[in-house]
Structure 1
Amino acid sequence: MDISTVSELVRTADPQQWRPGDAWLAGGTVLYSNGSEDLQRLLDITGAGWEPLTVSDAGLEIAATCTIAELYAFPDAVPADRQWQALNLVRPCCESFVASFKVWNVSTVGGNICTGLPAGPMTALTAALDGVALIHSPDGTSRRVPVAELVVGDCRTALAPGELLRSISVPAAALRARTAFRQLSLTRLGRSGVLLIGRLDEDGGFVLTVTAATKRPVQLRFATLPDAAGLRAELNETIDASLWHDDVHGLPQWRHYMTDRLGEEIRAQLAAPEPAPVP
């Protein structure tokens, strides 16, 4: 779609350049799909030169401009001695886009998070691994926000006008954890109606992250792996009726039921002994 109100394209990643009527442009797959009646300038950050993925002892930094295709290829490039078994989540989350290779090669991790879609798989991935977003503001300051708190509702985020998502930092401890992934759509090529990720940390702590079924990410944290009744009770207490998402991709009642069911599948999978490595 053409955005006929836009009269200028500015190549910059400096939030101090932002003014009302501007929008940040990365892949643009959602921006151009939705269109606009009031945008005047696009601030193009694709030339910022940010390294897509940076590995360190602290963990992994994912640039906001990292494309889905770059992230999908990343697990094959990680040294084996990192033992980041949670990278098993990367490809299922990328595949939850149900998008063509053309979209994968331009759509970005940061863009998917900033759209605030309940079904955003990059929100699910980074929130489930305790990712923390680095945000630059027009006043020259920066702040860090957990991704689980960055998306606050259906297509709503905690970003203030002009703020720019620079990167997401994922801690090494979360990357070393055992994980389990479950995703459902009403149709084979449909948008996610339910997407859950479970994580069993090295210290025995259990984290369940619920997305797509809810309007914003919901995380449940336990010091130890709960039993089935304990998990269901916590889910029902934490997610009230107003949080269940309701659109053509699934009724709230169905999302609620499948969240309970898939949550228990995840809990049972992580409660079982860890499979022996394939020789």
Structure 2
Amino acid sequence: MDLISVREIRMPRDRSEIVFAPGEQPLGGGTWLFSERQPGLTGLVDLTALGWEPLTVTAETLTIAATCTIRDLTLLPAQAGWHAHPLLSLCANSLLASFKIWNVATVGGNVATALPAGAMTSLMAALDATAVIWGPEGEARTMPVATFVRGVRQTDLRPGEVLRALEVPVASLSSQFAFRRIALSNLGRSGALVIGRVDPSGEHVYTVTAATPAPVQFRFDEAPSAAALKHAFDGIQEWYDDPHGAPDWRRAVSTLFGEEIRGELEGSAA
């Protein structure tokens, strides 16, 4: 869609130029931004002009620039012991987007847009990624992606802030995992997406997205019993309601997925 109210697109050269005038918004891939009308939008600040390194791997952390495209993320080679590496493609394919979208849509943009079915939100939350946030005065702060996304189109970003990067612990990528997703149609938006993970420390982590307005995460020091896991799912207070799934259906399939994942992870640990 043409954004006919936009009068200027700025290309910042360094961090000092990431300053937003009234009516300006940051631009990454723009796949959502250009998909519908944006009332009050008069300018864009193109973060891709900053040339951030898309992916950086160290012994402890995988750092994903907010401007890294989904395609670049899926092409990241697995390192030795990265048992959870298939999650990159599994979640990316949950977007059900064409290669054209993958080539421009950004990981950070998908997270910051904060849609329940945001597949990069599912991935980053499940892998215990940390959001690196830059402030307008040169300050920076961090927080878990699982709490950074607060609801439908709601994040913890404050005025003038941008999402700079997502930091994934290599320990999370070394986890055993199980993945379940469902939609009302073969090419439909995710109605429920549940990921279970066993951390190398033995901690069991279950992450529910798409079925809830924001990520919901459960952590157990050891493999939970069926009753303990069901109790956790029963405690979810709000299930998302839209044309892609009713709350009672989302609750039922998510709870079923949780139990299936529990059994699968028990089997992988045996």
- TM-score bracket, normalised by the shorter chain, equals over 0.9
Distance in 2, matches of 1:132 and 1:223, equals 21
> What amino acid maps onto 1:40 in structure 2?
T
Structure 2 residue runs without a partner (length 5+): none
149-158 or 245-254: which moved more? 149-158
Distance in 2, matches of 1:182 and 1:36, equals 34
Matches within 5 A, 1:1-279: 1-12=1-12, 14=15, 16-74=18-76, 77-79=77-79, 82-237=80-235, 239-240=236-237, 243-274=238-269
> What amino acid maps onto 2:34 in structure 1?
Y
Distance in 2, matches of 1:49 and 1:78, equals 24
Distance in 1, matches of 2:233 and 2:78, equals 35
User: Following TM superposition, by how much is the alpha carbon of 1:104 offset from its aligned partner in structure 2, in angstroms?
Assistant: 0.6
Alpha-carbon RMSD: 1.2
Normalised by the length of structure 1, the TM-score is: 0.93
CA distances 1:162-210 after superposition (whole Å, capped 9, x unpaired): 2111100011111111011111000000000000110111222100000
Contact kept in structure 1, 2:184 and 2:244, CA below 8 Å: yes
Contact kept in structure 2, 1:50 and 1:65, CA below 8 Å: yes
CA distances 1:62-96 after superposition (whole Å, capped 9, x unpaired): 1101111111111xx234xx311111111110000
Query: Any runs of at least 4 consecutive aligned residues in structure 1 with deviations exceeding 6 A, and if so which?
Result: none
Contact kept in structure 1, 2:122 and 2:193, CA below 8 Å: yes
> What amino acid maps onto 2:220 in structure 1?
F
CA distances 1:137-185 after superposition (whole Å, capped 9, x unpaired): 1122111011001110111111112211110001111111101111100
Contact kept in structure 1, 2:178 and 2:197, CA below 8 Å: yes
User: Following TM superposition, by how much is the alpha carbon of 1:112 offset from its aligned partner in structure 2, in angstroms?
Assistant: 0.2
Normalised by the length of structure 2, the TM-score is: 0.96
Structure 1 residue runs without a partner (length 5+): none
Distance in 2, matches of 1:118 and 1:154, equals 6
1-10 or 245-254: which moved more? 1-10
Distance in 2, matches of 1:156 and 1:37, equals 17
Identity over aligned residues, as a percent? 48
